[in-house]
A and B are shown apart, each in its own frame.
Chain A
Amino acid sequence: MPRIKAHFDRLSHLFLPLSVLVILIVINLIKGADYFRITMVNGAFYGNIPNILFGASELVILAIGMTLVTAASRGQDISIGEIGAIASAIFVQYVLRAGSAVTLWTILAGFLISCVAGLLIGAFNGTLVSFFRVQPMVATLILFLGGRSIAFIIDGKVSPILANEISNQIGTVIPGVPIQTPIILTAVFIAVVVVVLKTTNLRLYVEAVGINPNAARLNGIDPKKIIFLTFLIMGVCSAVAGFIAVNKAGRHDSVNLLKFIMMDAILAVALGGNSLGGGKFSITGSIIGAYTIEILNRTLLRLEVNPEAIKAFKAVFIIILMVIASPVVRAFVRKVVDKAKTIVAANSVRKTVGLNKAVFFITDSSAGKKEE
């Protein structure tokens, strides 16, 4: 029972992303009642929901990494799109080198190599932030600026094309499986994260370091190592996101692959009810936040907002959200609720006050006797 209650306490953080989700769904249902309809096309599910899950897969993975980086380092990694671009460029080069004889093993090996690349880049960022104490946004600005050039140099030419069947299936569907592959990969990734959180103290360490690094250190946690670790994880998340993105696209466009996705990832973390100042975090919130952003994008498209104006609409929507979720408005709502509660409680308490006074009198006088 207390455990359920503790979970419920955590769930209260999800109030914001969930309520936004509901609002967006209601808007979509008003626009057309067939919003939830799912049809089968060529043996795969097709409809709004699968599209959203498909479209948000990279963002969800990146939002998870961003949540951890934010919680531990109290700052954000703005180079994640670039890490993804570099890691996937390496993946593409490895696959292309295999020529026409691409097997599942080639893809797998390429994927693992790109993950190692992600780890190394994450280590670079992490070293700057944890050991040299550069502010995260400044440290990652380096790769944000230079990363795409590196990806371009690895590519060697403009947009190399991934023309093998396996890549195509990873980016779309595997025949016979009704769910698009990126959705499955995202689900697997989330499952891995859940297992990691269950079998390690990652949450406790990261939260302790994010809230009070001094106290964490005096309890045997090395804040530097933990911050470094979150950047390593972020690097892997970026590599995985790059892998999915490049397979979806079928070619490696070093300029546009995962461009500006760090903005959405940071937004997803904030929407998820997480403080951008570090400390306690909710990965569930960030995941819901990421899907919410995808739904928002698609809702605006569905409402036939001019594509040029979408960004402005999005900005307005986000401002409204942030104001609603701000501590000021929350405190106001709480006050109103509390007042309503006390009025109800006062009416019932009034009847018992007389009795209480009598009891206090008796206990006081008996206590007095003991003292003597």
Chain B
Amino acid sequence: MLSEIILKMEGISKSFPGVRALHNVDFTLRRGEIHALMGENGAGKSTLIKIITGVYEKDAGQITIEGRPVQFKSPQDAQNMGIGTVFQEIALCPNLTVAENMFIGRSRSNFVKWKQMNAKAAEMLKSLGIPASPTQELASCSIAVQQMIAIARAVDMDCKILILDEPTSSLDEDEVQKLFALMRELKARGVGIIFITHFIDQVYEISDRITVLRNGELIGEYETAALPQIELISKMMGKALSDVTAMKKHEPPKAENSVPIFEAKELSSAAGVKPFNFAIQKGEVNGFAGLLGSGRSESVRAIFAADKVTGGEVKINGKRVKIKTPLDAMKQGIGYLPEDRKGDGIIDELSVRDNIILALQVMKGFFKPLSWKQTEEFAHQFVEKLEIKTPSLNTPIKSLSGGNQQKVILARWLLTHPMYLILDEPTRGIDVGTKVEIQKLVLKLAEEGMSLTFISSEIDEMLRVCSRLIVMKDREIIGELSGMNLTEQDVMHMIAQGGK
């Protein structure tokens, strides 16, 4: 049973105007296997997935499902063939109830049997261990629960092939384990699962085989057990192993006694974070650690006045200042890269150029537009410096890959030359290569004297770049960890014990 091939793609090619997204790629999926599709941003994973799901039409190549050649004209065709997909960005309707979201568009009749629908939804939520009620509005669920509901929806559609595109990027460890249990269950039922993720550990935990793509080409297909992690990373990046391991941990700054560059006392915001104290030295990289919903994002949002500040006082270089709006914070030299890139970061229809210059332009003021030549120079400079892959400066940012969008937002803040830069989940949903680049950049900026706060769901990533961790639990700071030899266990212990 294991060796039976359910999906076979041969010689798939796809080009967009000016870009060759896929070139002669093969991919096979067996019944009852979990197959990880790996590659950096722009490697062609998303394009391949969109071809499987009928969103794009391939230029060349052949797809066979259970030995029969198929030709998808629309996503509906693919769905009818038993291909279910859960995309990275949740494609549900937040204003409908959980049950409605699970069954929307699937009923044959024009009338909805509410009672029956809710009962069925309740049963399914229970069997999958999803903590939500069928009649609850979807928007009131956490992102993680919404994600699981999206999976439940796909699973329920009798799929033979399930595609999970970054399903775990917003889940915490516990929820990931629940999801994995679900995936194993489906695997046992004979569903072939294509799993896309940037979490390498997860790939090794759950997948049977790995296919690696790079720059639109197939690098190879491997048995997971036979491919060491470090080799996988180097194959994805196309770089030698020594490059990957060469990252050096940052030394904490020496001047411990000097006045902090930023200091907050009893700061609180309308988003419901308990009043907290916080300070950061020049050239320091620190981080807020904690589980999802622990208040780490709310804390940094309070620093930037992204949510309404309700109390506390703020000092910059020892001098008291008032920060009431994001613009105040920007003028004090603070930059903030938000957690929700799509909702709070990018202006999706505007060009890469406009997105890069936005913050600087706003700081200069309404009546002082930068000249075309200046914007050209600034944008060009950062596209080169951060290696942003874009067809041109005038390309709308929405047509860039996630990692490149994130680099544009980074460029936006670096252009304002902040003295203190807050990065909330800058590496979420981003490939390993870019992730390492961003980490290196953070350390380099700190060396040049910038102070940074770096937040990540991946504690090992924070341990790599931060010299001090502020640990949060239940919207409160419960302690602080510092030192060069911190381990993930130390952080876990602190969270588990709720402080000292």
Binding site for B on A (CB under 8 A): 2-3, 5-6, 9, 198-202, 204-205, 207-208, 211-212, 214-222, 279-280, 338, 342, 360, 367, 370-371
Contact = CB atoms under 8 A, between A and B. Distances in A.
Contact of B362 (A211, A214, A220): A220
B302 interface: no
Contacts of A360: 217
Contacts of B362: 201, 205, 219-221
B363 A201 contact: no
A280 B350 contact: yes
Nearest to A198: B369
Given A200-B367, A207-B350, A279-B349, A220 B394 contact: no
Nearest to A208: B347
26 contacts: A2-B392, A2-B394, A3-B372, A6-B394, A199-B369, A200-B366, A200-B369, A201-B365, A204-B361, A212-B344, A212-B347, A215-B338, A215-B345, A217-B306, A217-B326, A218-B326, A218-B336, A218-B338, A218-B345, A219-B359, A219-B362, A220-B325, A220-B327, A220-B359, A221-B362, A222-B327
Given A208-B358, A215-B338, A218-B304, 4 more contacts: A3-B376, A201-B368, A208-B354, A219-B362
B59 interface: yes
Contacts of B327: 220-222
B354 A204 contact: yes
A216 B327 CA distance: 11
Contacts of A218: 304, 306, 326, 336, 338, 344-345
Interface centre among B59, B361, B376 (most CB of A within 10 A): B361
Contact of B238 (A199, A214, A217, A367): A367
Most buried by B among A201, A219, A280, A370: A219
**Top 7 nearest A-B pairs by Cβ distance?**
A220-B327, A220-B362, A6-B394, A211-B347, A219-B359, A201-B369, A212-B347
Contacts of B238: 367
A202 B327 CA distance: 17
Contacts of B347: 207-208, 211-212, 215-216
Nearest to B327: A220
Interface in B331-351: 336, 338, 343-351
Interface of B: 17, 59, 217, 234, 238, 240-241, 304, 306, 325-327, 330, 336, 338, 343-351, 354, 358-359, 361-363, 365-369, 372, 376, 392-394, 412
A211 B350 contact: yes
A215 B330 contact: no
A219 B326 contact: yes
B369 A204 contact: yes
Contacts of B394: 2, 5-6, 9
Nearest to A279: B349
A338 B358 CA distance: 34
A208 to B, nearest CB: 5
Contacts of A338: 17
A363 to B, nearest CB: 10
A220 B363 contact: yes
Contacts of B350: 204, 207-208, 211, 280
B326 A220 contact: yes
A354 to B, nearest CB: 13
Contacts of A5: 392, 394
Given A215-B347, A220-B327, A205 B366 contact: yes
A216 B326 CA distance: 10
A199 B343 CA distance: 29
B330 A220 contact: yes
Contacts of B326: 217-220
A218 B326 CA distance: 6
Given A205-B366, A218-B306, A211 B392 contact: no
A364 to B, nearest CB: 9
A258 B176 CA distance: 62
Contact of A371 (B234, B304, B346, B354): B234
Contacts of A6: 351, 394
Nearest to A360: B217
A327 B376 CA distance: 31
B358 A204 contact: yes
A219 B354 CA distance: 12
A200 B367 CA distance: 4
Contacts of A204: 350, 354, 358, 361, 369
A215 B366 contact: no
Contacts of A280: 349-350
A207 to B, nearest CB: 6
A215 B343 contact: yes
A261 B325 CA distance: 39
B194 to A, nearest CB: 26
B344 A215 contact: yes
A92 B145 CA distance: 63
A360 B215 CA distance: 12
A211 B398 CA distance: 12
B392 to A, nearest CB: 7
Nearest to B304: A218
B346 A212 contact: yes
A2 B393 contact: yes
A220 B392 CA distance: 26
A217 B345 CA distance: 10
A217 B17 CA distance: 34
Given A9-B394, A204-B358, A220-B363, A211 B344 contact: no
Contacts of B359: 219-220
A367 B240 CA distance: 9
B344 A214 contact: yes
A139 B358 CA distance: 31
B376 A371 contact: no
Nearest to B393: A2
A367 B220 CA distance: 15
Contacts of A198: 369
A371 B241 contact: yes
Nearest to B24: A357
A199 B367 contact: yes
Contact of A370 (B240, B361, B376, B393): B240
Which of B17, B338, B344, B376 is most buried by chain A, counting CB atoms within 10 A of its CB?
B344
B108 to A, nearest CB: 26
A211 B349 contact: yes
Contact of A211 (B348, B368, B412): B348
B369 A2 contact: no
Contacts of B17: 338
Nearest to A345: B15
Contacts of A214: 343-344
B378 to A, nearest CB: 14
A272 to B, nearest CB: 16
A201 B234 contact: no
Contacts of B241: 371
Nearest to B217: A360
Nearest to A212: B347
B180 to A, nearest CB: 32
Nearest to A226: B366
Contacts of B368: 201
A202 B95 CA distance: 33
Contacts of A367: 238
Nearest to B380: A2
Contacts of B304: 218
Contacts of B412: 219
A252 to B, nearest CB: 36
A338 B241 CA distance: 42
B361 A201 contact: yes
Contacts of A202: 366
B119 to A, nearest CB: 37
Residue of B306, B326, B347 with highest tally of chain A CB at under 10 A: B347
